[in-house]
Structure formats: structure tokens, C-alpha cells
Amino acid sequence: MKTMFTMLTAACSTGSRTTADLSWWTVKGSEHRPEGSWSGNQTGALMKVVTVGRGRIGGGLAGIWSKAGHEVITLGRDGGDGSAADVVLIAVPGSAIAAALANVTGIAGKVTIDATNAYGQRSAPFASQAHEIKSIIGGPTAKSFNTNWAVIYDQIGQQRVRPSNLFAADPDARQVTEQLIVDAGFDPVYVGDLEHARMLEDHLPLIQAVASAGLGPFFYRMAGPGQL
Ligand SMILES: NC(=O)c1ccc[n+]([C@@H]2O[C@H](COP(=O)([O-])OP(=O)(O)OC[C@H]3O[C@@H](n4cnc5c(N)ncnc54)[C@H](OP(=O)(O)O)[C@@H]3O)[C@@H](O)[C@H]2O)c1
């Protein structure tokens, strides 16, 4: 099996900023960002992330997370070794989940974030693509990043408030997923446990309709009164 790695180390452009400078940037916060101040800092423990898929989503998040200080290894369709991972991101076409994971070693039981969307036919026995992934990897699993556009990742930090990111998660995957959502520049919005993953996948036609109707790729924000 051919193994390809792309190591994206913490080539931070964060200057002298420290995590303490981000007191306005709490995990659940809705604070306004000081204009133009976001430079991609992590907000908790540094993690080793392996992305299965290194395209728009996998490669895009790898760049953001490595800038925030995390160590990221990206794997393409040829797979490779994921044993170094604290958390695994799955960002391949939904129809390629089983094939892609068959080429990745060392990830059994790892915390996993599924960013895939479903186009066309699904793998019949599974309640959602997140469940399909969990049946293969077997660790605590979350569904996130599938309702956010990769093509505007480069504009996340320019927004007046942090855009929302809807996610569902097993209890043991929730904290890590929330941190990586925050470290990508989004505000996590928890929708419930993994039984809600299918709902996030089925949200796709609405997102596409909104974009096609004229808005184009967009951010969204779900916020309580007074937090917009
Ligand atoms: N783009 C978005 O805005 C967006 C938003 C939300 C969710 N998603 C979902 O996220 C997933 C990834 O989307 P993307 O836009 O990042 O896709 P992409 O740019 O086309 O990248 C796909 C990645 O998957 C890998 N891969 C592994 N096995 C594959 C196979 N059998 N066939 C094709 N590719 C395979 C590719 O490997 P190589 O590098 O070796 O080609 C590539 O790294 C999809 O499920 C998509 O629906 C995308």
C-alpha cells in the first residue's frame, strides 16, 4: 500500500499572541471579535489530528488547525498510518468511506469526526454515514463540518461574530469536537448525540437551496436573543 503523508506543522502566523489573549474567545461564547484580530490560536490542549481526505474539507481544516498549533497529518485515497492521532477527521466522498478507511491503519477505537455528506445512494444498513464510520473505526464519534462551506474557510476570521457550526456527538467525542470547531473559528452548536447525525446529513438540500437561490456559499449563525 502506498503511503502518502503531508505534515502540516504549526507554522503559526500568530506572532506573540497567546491563548490568554483570547479571553473573549470562549468555547460557548458569542462575543464579538475585535475586528481583524483572529489569527488562528488553539483554545485548549494541542492535539494530533489525522485527516482521512485532504481535499477542500480535509486539507482546508488541516491548514486552519495547524495554524492554531495542532499537529495534522493528512491522508489521501492511498491511505496510510493514523496511529499517531488523538482524533481522526473523515473528509472523503460519502460513497468512498469504506474504501478510504480500508487503506488506513492504526485508527481503531479513536475519537472520530465525520464531515461527510451524502449524495445519491447510501450504504443501506447504516442510520447515517457517521454510523457507518463508527462501525468501522469503533471509537466515540461526532458529526461536524458537513453543514459549513469549505470554499469560504478563508473568510471565517473576517466575520463580525463567529459563524455557527452544527454538530452531533457521542458524549466522549463532544469536548474534542467542540474544541476543534472553536479552533477552526466557528461557534459550536450542539444538536444532540450521534442519533442526530442523520438529521445533519439530511440538512444538505436546504443548504444547497439557500445557496442556489442567490446567497451562494454562506455562513450561518444560530444564537440566543441578544447574542447576534
Ligand atoms: N467542499 C465542501 O464545502 C463540503 C462541505 C461539507 C461537507 N463536505 C463533504 O466532505 C467530504 C469531502 O469533501 P471535499 O469537498 O473535501 O472533497 P474533495 O476536495 O474532492 O476531497 C476528497 C478527498 O477524499 C479522498 N478520497 C479517499 N478515497 C477516495 C475515493 N475512493 N474517491 C474519491 N476521493 C477519495 C481524496 O483523496 P486524494 O487526495 O488522493 O484524491 C481527497 O483527499 C465529502 O463527503 C463532502 O460531501 C464538503
| pLDDT: which is higher, 36 or 94 | 94
Contacts of residue 48, defined as CB under 8 A and 6 or more positions apart, other chains included, come to: 70, 71, 72, 73, 84, 85, 86, 87
Per-residue pLDDT reduced to its tens digit, 147-169: 999 999 999 999 999 999 999 99
pLDDT in the model for residue 219: 98
| pLDDT: which is higher, 177 or 22 | 177
pLDDT in the model for residue 227: 86
Least confident of 30-34, 127-131, 183-187: 30-34
Please give the number of the atom of ligand 1 that sits closest to the Cα of 54. 43
97 CB under 6 A from ligand 1?
no
| pLDDT: which is higher, 89 or 19 | 89
Question: Rounded to an integer, what distance in angstroms lies between the CA atom of residue 226 and that of residue 219?
Answer: 19
Going from the Cα of 53 to the center of ligand 1, the distance in angstroms, rounded, reads: 6
pLDDT in the model for residue 124: 84
Query: Rounded mean pLDDT of 63-77?
Result: 98
Q: Is the pLDDT of residue 68 over 50?
A: yes
55 CB under 6 A from ligand 1?
yes
Percentage with pLDDT > 90 across the chain: 76
Residue of 56, 136, 201 with the most ligand 1 atoms within 8 Å of its CB, for mutation: 56
pLDDT in the model for residue 42: 53
Per-residue pLDDT reduced to its tens digit, 197-213: 999 999 999 999 999 99
Going from the Cα of 147 to the center of ligand 1, the distance in angstroms, rounded, reads: 14
Question: Rounded to an integer, what distance in angstroms lies between the CA atom of residue 182 and that of residue 177?
Answer: 9
Residue of 78, 92, 220 with the most ligand 1 atoms within 8 Å of its CB, for mutation: 92
DSSP sequence for 146-197:
TTS-GGGGGGGGGSSSPPEEEEEE-HHHHHHHHHHHHHTT-EEEEEESGGGH
Topology at the third CATH level for domain 45-215: Rossmann fold (3.40.50)
pLDDT in the model for residue 206: 96
Q: Is the pLDDT of residue 14 over 50?
A: no
Residue of 54, 57, 89 with the most ligand 1 atoms within 8 Å of its CB, for mutation: 57
Question: Rounded to an integer, what distance in angstroms lies between the CA atom of residue 228 and that of residue 226?
Answer: 6
pLDDT in the model for residue 10: 31
What are the extents of the domains in the chain? Answer: 45-215
Mean pLDDT, the chain, as a whole number?
84
Distance (Å) of CA 171 to CA 49, 65, 119, 146, 191: 19, 22, 28, 19, 12
pLDDT in the model for residue 33: 37
143 CB under 6 A from ligand 1?
no
**Contact (Cβ atoms closer than 8 angstroms) between residue 94 and residue 119:** yes
